[in-house]
Structure 1
Amino acid sequence: MRALVLMALLALLAGCATSPPTFNAEVSVRHQIASDVAGKRFAFKRDASQAQSLLQRQVEHDVAVALEGYGLTLDSNASRADWLVELAYGIDDGKTVTYNQPVWGTTYYTYYRRVYSGNNYVIVPYYYPSTEVVGSQSVSEVVYTRYLAVDVFDRKALAGNEFAKLYEGEAKNRSASQQFDNALPYLTRALFQTFPGTAGTRTVRLPLPPVQP
């Protein structure tokens, strides 16, 4: 029985080891937009710190491509746009997370057999090695949250000092990596899997390219 349990456990671990890597994002959306958004014109709303930022331009490009995929049109003249799109993005300072990690080691179990020796049967022990969890150890690592937030405003309502928010969405990814640029395409894809989408929070898993040996 013990051998069968061990074989099942090793098979499960082998399956996990061959599972493709994924980019996991928590996506939250609230909106009051009709499902038919094709034909709307949008422009980006920037604050002073974003006006001369190359990263801002990259984020705008990725978001614009995603919105254009739903039939919207980017307009460089904000006064002609139906919507103004405001962006926030970046990475936090990290948080130390501590968890228990299993420790694997070699143990032995005994299997007894009756062996005929001379005129008698004797019980002979056989020892088999087994790789099992033999304990646990505390592991700490810094986890960073990378995020992309997108707000959409009705331009005319905003100009008239009325309530203008039409959409607010955010995608977050928690990782040991401090790199934001390589996360940006996945954050954008996760957030705009649907648009405007269903209000609420969901987890999106996107396949990553396999790690090269």
Structure 2
Amino acid sequence: MKLASAPLLLAGLAACATPFNADVSRFQTQLPAPSGQTFAVVADDPALAGGLEFSQYADFVEAEMAELGYTMGSPETADLLVRFDYGVDNGREKVVTTGFSRDPFFDPWYGGYGRRGFYSPYYRHSAWGYGWYDPFFDNGPDVRSYTIYTSGIDMKIDRRVDGQRLFEGKAEAVSRSNRLQHLVPNLVDAMFTDFPGHSGETMRISIAPEDREKKVRRID
């Protein structure tokens, strides 16, 4: 029982340790230095204005702006208006082929207690085979499908007085989750990594879940 549960435990730990990856594109003119500048986060989509959900996600943006040194103000008087939007699509099916499926009692890699879907290229030829291979027990490719979702946030920063656009940014991620409560904070985190970034550059931001360590890779 303990041996059988070990692979499941390791799989669970691996799933928990999966980093969050987002592609971030940013364009900017010269943003004013934070000192003395106030900002307000507003909904870019009027339908979201005043909503409790929007207010919750706006808090994450406000925290990041404050950490940069900007001071939160009101939409009527702030120097900068941070226009924010978010969303997730309806998902699409992804099909994955993971090698060959064996009868669980004839998988030599696990000494007769193998997992469905595991395939070793050494199965037929190496000492791991123990001479057990029989085409009768080769069930062909193990094909699985699951739903993946594309989520994203848009952020624009305008100078309130004259409406001049100072910053535009998008962060997108593909994952098996469509829960905005989990996705939006991570997307905001990615957006503000090395903020404001180099104008016109797209980055792959990878955020480890345990220690929030961030890795940045240019992909354009």
- Tell me the TM-score normalized by structure 1: 0.70
- The aligned residue for residue 202 of structure 1 is 203
**2:80 paired residue number:** 83
The answer to whether 1:51 aligns with 2:56 is: no
Deviation at 1:206, TM superposition (A): 0.6
Residue 127 (str. 1) matches residue 130 (str. 2): yes
| Structure 1 counterpart of 2:151 | 146
**Cα deviations by residue, 1:30-66 (Å, 9 ceiling, x for unpaired):** 1112473333211123354222311110111100000
Q: Which runs of 5+ in 1 are unaligned?
A: 1-13, 112-125, 159-163
Q: Which of 52, 69, 72 is equivalent to 2:70? A: 72
Distance 2:194 2:81 in 1: 19
In the alignment, is the contact (CA less than 8 A) between 2:148 and 2:175 conserved in 1?
yes
Three-state SS of the structure 2 residue aligned to 1:181 is helix
1:26 aligns with 2:23: yes
Query: Residues of 2 paired with 1:91 and 1:21: CA distance?
Result: 20
- Stretches of structure 2 that go unaligned for 5 or more consecutive residues are 1-10, 108-122, 212-220
Q: Evaluate the alpha carbon distance shift between residue 45 and residue 35 of structure 1 in structure 2; reply closer, same or farther with a 3 A threshold.
A: closer
**Number of matched residues?**
174
Distance 1:168 1:155 in 2: 15
C-alpha distance in structure 2 between counterparts of 1:185 and 1:34, whole Å: 23
State the distance in 2 between where 1:18 and 1:98 align.
19
Where has structure 1 moved over 6 Å in runs of 4 or more? none
Deviations 1:61-97 (A, max 9, x none): 1000001111011102x23211111111021111222
Which protein has the bigger helix share? 2
- Aligned counterparts of 1:101 and 1:139: Cα–Cα separation in 2: 8
More strand by share: 1
Contact 1:148 1:188 in 2 (8 A): yes
8 Å CA contact 2:21, 2:173 repeated in 1: yes
Tell me how far 1:19 sits from its aligned partner.
9.8
TM-score (normalizing by structure 2): 0.68
Deviates more, 1:28-37 or 1:89-98: 28-37
Alignment of 1:171-210 (within 5 A): 171-199=171-199, 200-209=201-210
CA separation of 1:109 and 1:91: change in aligned 2, threshold 3 A: same
Deviates more, 1:54-63 or 1:32-41: 32-41
Give the number of the structure whose alpha-carbon radius of gyration is greater: 1
Deviations 1:125-181 (A, max 9, x none): x93569xxx7533333221112121111111122xxxxx211111111111112110
Q: 1:165 to 1:35 in 2, by over 3 A?
A: closer
What RMSD, in angstroms, separates the aligned Cα atoms of the two structures?
Answer: 3.1
* Distance across 2 between alignment mates of 1:185 and 1:56: 12
Q: Secondary structure at the match of 1:142?
A: strand
Q: Is the 8 A contact 2:87 2:180 kept in 1?
A: yes
